[in-house]
Structure 1
Amino acid sequence: MREAMRRLAAAKWKGLFAALFFGGMAAVGHEPFGLYTVSIVAFALGLGLVLDAPSWKRAGVLGWMVGTGFFAVQWSWLVNPFLVDIKAHGWMAPFAVILLAGGMALYWGAASALAALVRPALRWVALPIALGLAEYVRAWAFTGFSWGGPGLIWIDTPVAQIAAWIGAYGLGWVTLFFAALIYVAIYSRWLRVGVVAAGVALAGFGFLADQRPLPPTTENVLRLVQPNAAQHLKWEPDWVMTFFERATALSSAPAEGREPDLVVWPETSIPALQGQAPLLEERAFRSAAPAPLVAGIQRREGSTYRNSIVYYDAPGEPAWIYDKHHLVPFGEFVPFGNQLAKVGIRGLAQQAGYGFEEGDGPVIHQLPGTLGKALPLICYEAIFPRDIRGAKGRADMILQLTNDAWFGTFSGPQQHLVHARFRAIEFGLPLARAANTGISAMIDAKGNVTAALPLNEAGFLDAALPAPLPPTVYAQIGDLPFIVALSALFAGLLAFARRKSVDPVAAPL
């Protein structure tokens, strides 16, 4: 098999298609499939091709193809936002998945090429380290796009709980290391023992992490409102008030148990700029009363527009406002937008010119009574752990308001929910999620969904608010120590390779 893999890695086109295929199969560990065992095997074979590449250049190309397949299958939902308004944005749809997947995979290609400079006997250690570091870069560079990643395949297993110590990025590195170990163990008897030991350790640590007892659920009840406003109709004049009336009716519906302590509407659910339709805002508040209301709205400040969350505990001006600070490139803003707008290139959700203006950053806000403090997030801010760590202090809960109607129904909303669940695990905080078309959910501090509304159904969810856990290790130290450790280890491997260079084809593992 080893010789067959080497020949495949060296074969000009067959090797590329094999790498693309293995990368694509690795993505089926993500929702909606959840086949993490298939993902591990596919990663092992994809990394094996990179490890058996005849040169560092070939390793870089193969790594790029593995990444392209992985991201393209995982992000297939990305065509949906461009199909909402086909006349304006439909032409972009063919490029959305291909260009973004191929662009993000460049990080994997560069990492694979660098890892190929390490001695062959240690290359299987260097490759997952380099790819793990590449994932950190992907999450930060050019505002970052950390959607997905190898570690998220474990969400419905105890292994996911390890993220409370090392985060989802660290868990991604562990996943790739385990996959690389599986591949090299095929050719090394002593490494087969290592595979067994690593598998036992992974399962064991996950099991122990999963034993953390959850504190009793609080007595507070949140009502999560899901008006189910289809994106292609959401801003149509004939439908705007229909969806608004639906939201107010759901807010004022009788409770089956305890009356809600807080009502939460999803992103941009009040269909007017804040302050420009006060009667609408008052109706929204009164539909939730006597409970206060948290709702998504857009607002204008001078010549700029903002995607915001407002909190009303009385009629009139909101008690506090949160402005989204981590905006979606080419969604909520376009670089050089004023110029590009002249040739018809606009962000999918932008108001005018270069689009929305970013807020000041993550801010914790006070809620009434025993609800404590909440960290509000809008839409894809929940895929970035740093947007939670960046807040001063510690919240008692995370509030995510989102409009996943942009993402279609096949995989986007399900994957977005997985990200929210990982943020709960990483920080030991409950997360309440109100989504326009779903999936609205209450998530406990270990990432378990305690209650949910399905996709594309209008309704409300009265859910008890879980209690937070003590601050996790990851919440206290973040990613930096892990990045430093991996960087130092990789630098050491490269230095060792420079001292003693060997033939990458002839050398044994």
Structure 2
Amino acid sequence: MYKQASISHVSARNATVFSGMCAMYALALLAGAVLPLAFAPLGWYWLAVLSPAVLFLLAARLPKRQALWASYFFGLGYFGVGVSWVFISISRYGSGPVIAMLVTVGFVALLALFPWSAIFLVRTLCPRMGGFALWLGLPAAWVLSEWARLWFLTGFPWLFLGYSQIGTPFAAIAPVFGVLGVSFVVAVMAGALAWTALRFSLRRLAIASGALVALLLGASLLDREWTEPVAKPLSIALVQGNVEQDRKWKPEALAFTLGRYRALTQPYAGTDLIVWPETAVPAWFDQASEYLDRLQTRLGARGSTLILGIPVRTDQGQAYNAAVSLARPRRFYYKRHLVPFGEYVPLRGLVGPWLNILGAPLKDFSAGQQPRLLYASGVPIGALICFDVAFGAEVADLLPAAQLLVNLSNDAWFGDSLGPHQHLQIAQMRAIETGRPLLRSTNTGLTAVIDHNGQLLARAPQFEPTVLPAEVTPRTGSTPYVRWRDKPVLAFIGIALSVLVGVGRKGKRNSSR
């Protein structure tokens, strides 16, 4: 009888422990799932502090194994909601919903390893999670994981914490330390909140509040004009053709597409700069040259320069996703950061074309190797095609020569999802980092005019054929970020993690006594 009672007691205790762990994992999943709400279009920026704070608190309170599982569930929620638009592009324009679900789940499962890696690193270096680990160790590891996403498997720098802070006082950090610097400050606030909640006291609350005030004061000291206007304002017209993605590349739709863009453009002849979106002309440049020559002749007679997106093929057999300035002499910019499976198939020669699950062209695009400037009315322009705008250090390669940035994109792939809004927010951050106005011309939206402080001056309605006219003033000069890139942030991460190693070793020595 006693033995049976003991077994029942153990079983009940195990069931309680199991249900408690499930509750912790559910909390982590929920905290990750709400984090994308901090970004566009909702912009609940405070969630960028609260959500990671929940993760950091769990990382400090749970045993290492459970903490790692919690961090992985957090990542599943974070990216499962945040990049759900990947499913739309594959399902509608690739190989259907079944393949789309499999690929999206696999992609999210891979991305979830990045929050996991941050927790793993800190818990390995410093098993006892004290104040330093929460205030600086975890923030440093988190931002290191964001930096790794800039290059791992060609890069996917989406949903960095810093992007959520556009429009807040902390955006002033970006011209100096870039989006990773903003992410670091946000993560520090999350660590401070977790430290306060770990063992709540008025003393801890006062310290965390003081730190917040110090960070706000520090950000206010960086809030200044880093660049200056040059020359006169340019009149611009951003053309949004709104050609359906599943129709765009059909040969029988070419005449319709060219006619629509011509009709939308002609009333704006005399505008200094007219911009069409990425691959606005769904034909090779040499095939459309007669049409483009006639159009630029009419526009050029009124003093207009047209920049447009179009595929280009060379005599050497290479194909490029290009932005072309039609004013003589013609200039070409070739997209530098291609989208895997969208514009080329990795290992195509090894595994064959069956890997083409996203509807990539049968012929792979080649990546441009040099940042080339385009010109309009004598103004040097830095062109960025779609995914290019997500890589701040590469955008900085165009500076300080470029006085204006132009982002040509086609977000029709992602429908009415979070994707286009997140993409626009990323473009806003590039404007802040470089101190340059940025013009964004897209096929279906979000077409927008962004000033050098990252603020939206104008935005076209989504899913409508329209033209967005505006005036922008080119700017000159270099922000500190253009000169330094991500080096200061990476150096600080290295210092923080080095100190964390020392803290961890000291904690081990003390526990062994």
- d(CA) in 1 for partners of 2:361 and 2:249? 12
Q: Which residue of structure 1 aligns with residue 445 of structure 2?
A: 438
Q: Which residue of structure 1 aligns with residue 6 of structure 2?
A: none
Q: Which residue of structure 1 aligns with residue 75 of structure 2?
A: 67
Question: 1:458 deviation in Å?
Answer: 0.9
Contact map agreement 2:229 2:475 (CA 8 A) in 1: no
- d(CA) in 2 for partners of 1:28 and 1:221? 35
**Cα distance per residue 1:292-325 (max 9 Å; x no partner):** 21110012223332111111115xxx61111111
Q: Which residue of structure 2 aligns with residue 3 of structure 1?
A: none
Q: Secondary structure at the residue paired with 2:120?
A: helix
Contact map agreement 1:364 1:393 (CA 8 A) in 2: no
Q: Which residue of structure 1 aligns with residue 312 of structure 2?
A: 299
Q: Which residue of structure 2 aligns with residue 203 of structure 1?
A: 216
Question: 1:129 deviation in Å?
Answer: 1.2
Alignment of 1:315-330 (within 5 A): 319-330=330-341
Question: 1:245 deviation in Å?
Answer: 0.9
Q: Which residue of structure 2 aligns with residue 395 of structure 1?
A: 402
Q: Which residue of structure 2 aligns with residue 112 of structure 1?
A: 119
Structure with the higher fraction of residues in helix conformation:
2
Task: Select 2:292's aligned residue among 258, 272, 281.
Answer: 281
Paired letter, 1:459: T
With the length of structure 1 as denominator, give the TM-score of the two structures: 0.89
Alignment of 1:399-478 (within 5 A): 399-468=406-475, 470-478=477-485
Residues 1:49 and 2:58 are matched in the alignment: yes
- d(CA) in 2 for partners of 1:211 and 1:499? 42
Paired letter, 1:48: L
Contact map agreement 1:305 1:351 (CA 8 A) in 2: no
Question: 1:410 deviation in Å?
Answer: 2.4
* Off by >6 Å, runs of 4+ in structure 1: 7-10
Residues 1:15 and 2:24 are matched in the alignment: yes
Question: 1:378 deviation in Å?
Answer: 0.4
Task: Select 1:222's aligned residue among 212, 228, 236.
Answer: 236
- d(CA) in 1 for partners of 2:157 and 2:448? 22
Question: 1:396 deviation in Å?
Answer: 0.4
Q: Max radius of gyration: which structure?
A: 2
Q: Secondary structure at the residue paired with 1:222?
A: strand
Q: Which residue of structure 1 aligns with residue 358 of structure 2?
A: 348
Alignment of 1:35-184 (within 5 A): 35-55=44-64, 57-85=65-93, 88-117=95-124, 118=126, 119-121=128-130, 122-125=132-135, 126-184=137-195
Contact map agreement 2:227 2:478 (CA 8 A) in 1: no
Identity of aligned residues (%): 29
Question: 1:67 deviation in Å?
Answer: 2.2
Question: 1:363 deviation in Å?
Answer: 2.2
Give the 3 Å change call, closer, same or farther, for CA 138–216 of structure 1 in structure 2: closer
Paired letter, 2:362: A
Give the 3 Å change call, closer, same or farther, for CA 89–467 of structure 1 in structure 2: same
Q: Secondary structure at the residue paired with 2:191?
A: helix
- d(CA) in 1 for partners of 2:51 and 2:17? 15
Paired letter, 1:64: Y
Question: 1:210 deviation in Å?
Answer: 4.4
Q: Which residue of structure 2 aligns with residue 241 of structure 1?
A: 255
Contact map agreement 2:177 2:488 (CA 8 A) in 1: no
Contact map agreement 1:222 1:464 (CA 8 A) in 2: yes
Contact map agreement 2:50 2:190 (CA 8 A) in 1: yes
The worse-fitting range, judged by mean Cα deviation, of 139-148 and 492-501 is 492-501
Segments of 5+ residues of structure 1 without an aligned counterpart are 1-6, 505-509
Give the 3 Å change call, closer, same or farther, for CA 475–216 of structure 1 in structure 2: closer
Paired letter, 1:192: L
Paired letter, 1:157: T
Give the 3 Å change call, closer, same or farther, for CA 320–450 of structure 1 in structure 2: same
- d(CA) in 2 for partners of 1:200 and 1:457? 44
**Cα distance per residue 1:269-295 (max 9 Å; x no partner):** 112101123222224424643312111
Q: RMSD of the TM alignment (CA)?
A: 2.4
Contact map agreement 2:235 2:472 (CA 8 A) in 1: yes
Give the 3 Å change call, closer, same or farther, for CA 53–288 of structure 1 in structure 2: farther
Residues 1:265 and 2:257 are matched in the alignment: no
- d(CA) in 2 for partners of 1:8 and 1:419? 42
**Cα distance per residue 1:236-280 (max 9 Å; x no partner):** 33433222211111111157xxx3111111100112101123222
Contact map agreement 1:249 1:287 (CA 8 A) in 2: no
Contact map agreement 1:46 1:66 (CA 8 A) in 2: yes
- d(CA) in 1 for partners of 2:180 and 2:120? 21
